A and B are shown apart, each in its own frame.
Chain A
Amino acid sequence: DAGVIQSPRHEVTEMGQEVTLRCKPISGHDYLFWYRQTMMRGLELLIYFNNNVPIDDSGMPEDRFSAKMPNASFSTLKIQPSEPRDSAVYFCASSLEGRWNSPLHFGNGTRLTVT
């Protein structure tokens, strides 16, 4: 299996622009998670889906952030408009059952820089 695939690996954009991050989970995994990693806050859960349905988006920082999962093999995280404080590494992860003994499989992340 190719694992969780994220694109792009790096994104540099100017403040005010729209940014779209993409994720393809492992086939057969029912849960998909979006995390953000910063030096100050570490790894934070933004939102997660179960069977393509958003379950908990309480970690999404502001209305500027939105996430969708139109089908079992694709998810997007969109930031509109982007701000410099959104600069971080964004990880997508998937798991088979969403339980602790069904570990998260992370993608390699998208490093976002907003200037």
Chain B
Amino acid sequence: DQQVKQNSPSLSVQEGRISILNCDYTNSMFDYFLWYKKYPAEGPTFLISISSIKDKNEDGRFTVFLNKSAKHLSLHIVPSQPGDSAVYFCAASAGGGADGLTFGKGTHLIIQP
């Protein structure tokens, strides 16, 4: 049973526009959420995170929004750039431990020129 779900396997966005990647979770014990980015033939790299005590965290062009009541988070990339083309993984943790990270299956973001 997938506790972290990324329902869009792929997303295509025009360069310069906003990219919105979505993630849903089912475990109400999750209290930390992270996004990782992965290029082909490389390992995932950490992008941005948010604690459940917040509903928004911003880092440059990347913003993560958390809606606890809906058990939903989203990653916004504005403006989208060609280098943003990658697979994005949503991950969640309960109790603050990296050992308990549960990953979604990923969304492949394609930035069109």
Give Cα A41 to B103, complex, Å: 10
Task: Name the one of B44, B49, B106 contacting A106, with C-beta atoms under 8 angstroms.
Answer: B44
State whether B49 touches A93 (Cβ < 8 A): no
Give the residues in chain A near B99, CB-CB below 8 Å.
Answer: 31, 33, 45, 48, 55-56, 98
Give Cα A91 to B89, complex, Å: 14
A residues 85-107 in Cβ contact with B at 8 Å:
91, 93, 95, 97-107
Instruction: Mark B residues whose CB is within 8 Å of A.
Output: 32, 34, 36, 41-46, 49, 51, 89, 93, 96-99, 101, 103-106
Give Cα A99 to B98, complex, Å: 5
Give the residues in chain A near B43, CB-CB below 8 Å.
Answer: 4, 91, 93, 106-109
> Which bucket holds chain A's interface residue count?
20 to 34
Give the residues in chain B near A4, CB-CB below 8 Å.
Answer: 43
Give the residues in chain B near A103, CB-CB below 8 Å.
Answer: 34, 46, 49, 98
Top 7 A-B pairs ranked by shortest CB distance? A106-B43, A103-B46, A42-B105, A100-B32, A43-B103, A100-B93, A98-B98
| Interface residues of chain A: helix, strand, loop or mixed (majority) | strand
Give Cα A55 to B99, complex, Å: 9
A-B contact pairs, 13 of them (CB 8 A): A31-B98, A43-B103, A45-B99, A91-B43, A91-B44, A98-B99, A100-B101, A103-B34, A103-B46, A104-B98, A104-B101, A108-B42, A109-B42
Give Cα A48 to B99, complex, Å: 7
Give Cα A55 to B97, complex, Å: 12
| Smallest Cβ-Cβ distance to A103: which chain B residue | B46
State whether A100 touches B98 (Cβ < 8 A): yes
